Amino acid sequence: MSKIRVALAGVGNCASALVQGVNYYARAEKDEQALGLKRLFLGGYHPRDVEFVSAFDVETRKVGKDLSSAVFSKPNNTLRFADVPNLEVPVLKGPVLDGIGPLVKRVVKESNQPEADVARELKQSKAEILVSLLPSGAVKAVEWYAGQALKAGCAFVNATPVFVASNKQWTQRFHAAHLPLAGDDLADQVGSTAVHKTLLKLLSEQGVRINETYQLDVGGGTESLDTLDRTRELKRTVKTQSVESVLPYKASVVAGSTDYVDFLENRRDSFFWIKGFYFGNVPMLLDLRLSTVDAPNAGSVLFDVIRAVKVALDRKIGGVLTSASAYAFKHPLEPTTLETAEHRFNEFILGKRER
């Protein structure tokens, strides 16, 4: 199979996990050797087929460095689980726009290097897919990079909660350009929203009537700080709507991020509280805590969606990839159940569905 030529907009913790993951799984040939991956091969593509050809950031401790070094540079603070060889991919300065929030300015230092011509760099590097791993509140920056992808003839993957792949104006533009588009707001492999939805679905299918439930997240790292600063309400809206969708009746639901704790670094604690009634109108209460590391939580899902977009490119499919978006993101253009999304995604990979 050919390589999947990927460019990164944002070299934060999620980029670190993704770049490390390519090397970590490079030698795996069988599923049992690929612990932590949902799919070792997808559409004929292996994680080692992902080749990073261009990268953009604004942090002075990353800009100018090789991508292999930049992913371990401060303020990145996720786990180091694999060594990364020199990739000969320098991190270039992108535009700041709204990429640095007021609170994040305390930990992010803007580079004084001149801005790169992103569209030109994408073309020169022959990038096929531009993956946006920018901060959650960077609405103008995410949309600007989406425009650069169109200008350069690249597919676009939006991991942020900025509405691009779920915005009909953007989907029409990518459809007209015959370029694949997937998003928005990447779902975690061990995600608190997916866990919450699964618990509610299981209980309601067993006849339990849920009347109140919440899911609250506390984390460290710049992403959690940026969420607290700029996208707390947006993320709460997206997560709450997603959780509510699994219940066939109205209940009191709250889901979202609540606070930033610096010493948690890239770790996240999620708290679930579910109150309901079962046989004989007897009350029940479920109270759980889930602890994860943020960045690796994105790796398996990113590998799947990047390879799915490459499959779409191979088949010359343009526009929003509805099956991949429903499978891998919290706010797709066409939301559906977890089971249906999984089924449609598998059908798409097998060539049984166009998108």
Helices (H) and strands (E) in the chain, counts: 11, 11
Model confidence pTM above 0.75: yes
Residue with tokens 């990739």: 87
In the prediction, which pLDDT does 137 show?
84
Report pLDDT for 341: 92
Whole-number pLDDT of residue 355: 63
Structurally, what CATH architecture does the domain formed by 192-293 represent? Answer: 2-Layer Sandwich (3.30)
276: Cβ contacts below 8 Å, ≥ 6 apart: 203, 208, 209, 210, 211, 212, 283, 284
Specify the CATH number of the domain 4-187+296-349: 3.40.50.720
The residue extents of the domains of the chain are: 4-187+296-349, 192-293
Query: Is residue 136 within 8 Å of residue 239, measured between CB atoms?
Result: no
Query: Which pair of tokens denotes residue 104?
Result: 């994040």
| pLDDT tens over the chain, length 355 residues | 689 999 999 999 999 999 999 999 999 999 999 999 999 999 999 999 999 999 999 999 999 999 999 999 999 999 999 999 999 999 999 999 998 888 888 889 999 999 999 999 999 999 999 999 998 889 999 999 999 999 999 999 999 989 999 999 999 999 999 999 999 999 999 988 889 999 999 999 999 999 999 999 999 878 787 777 677 777 788 788 889 989 999 999 999 877 888 899 999 999 999 999 999 999 999 999 999 999 999 999 999 999 999 999 999 999 999 999 999 998 999 988 888 999 999 999 999 866 6
Tell me, yes or no, if the two domains 4-187+296-349 and 192-293 fold the same way.
no
Contacts of 80 (CB under 8 A, 6+ apart): 20, 72
How confident is the model at residue 168, as a pLDDT?
94
The residues that bridge with 6 in the sheet, in sequence order, are 52, 129
What value does the CA radius of gyration of the chain take, rounded to a whole number of Å? Answer: 20
- Between CA 119 and CA 52, with CA 165 as vertex, the angle to 5 degrees is 45
CB 298 within 8 Å of CB 17:
yes
> Nearest-5° angle of CA 73, CA 136, CA 149?
85
Look up residue 199 and give its two tokens: 């618990």
Q: How far apart are CA 19 and CA 241, in angstroms?
A: 32
**pLDDT in the model for residue 354:** 60
Contact 68, 84 (CB under 8 A): yes
Six token digits for residue 261? 């704790």
d(CA 309, CA 45): 11
Q: Is the dihedral of CA 249, 183, 57, 1 positive or negative?
A: positive
- In a 10 Å sphere around its CB, with 0-12 CB exposed, 13-18 middle and 19+ buried, how is residue 211 labelled? middle
Closest CA to 22 of 2, 56, 55, 45: 45
Cβ-based neighbours of 168, under 8 Å, separated by 6 or more: 333
